[in-house]
Amino acid sequence: MPDPSTFFVIIVFSAAGLAAFRRGKREGNVICLLLGIALMVYPYFVEGLALNALIGAALSAAVWNIW
């Protein structure tokens, strides 16, 4: 189980991933859909607060540029 701060980061970026996934599905935007899936799934493979925050911020920035 991750520490509370890592868990919070995971929840925030997973929620952003869910929003990107839903928007990509609704609009038919495959890139946004895939980035949303990536935001929801990457925390299963990454440990540590800094790395989770860095990857989440990079994927969120990519979604923001597409959105």
| 19-47: pLDDT as tens digits | 999 999 999 999 999 999 999 999 999 99
> Under DSSP, is residue 28 helix (H, G, I), strand (E, B) or coil?
coil
Q: Write out the residue range of the structural domain in which residue 12 sits.
A: 4-66
Determine if residue 28 is left, alpha or beta; phi over 0 gives left, psi from -120 to 50 gives alpha, anything else beta: left
If one counts the domains in the chain, the total is: 1
Helices 49-66, 30-41: axis angle to 10 degrees equals: 170
Is residue 52 very low, low, confident or very high in pLDDT (cuts 50, 70, 90)?
A: very high
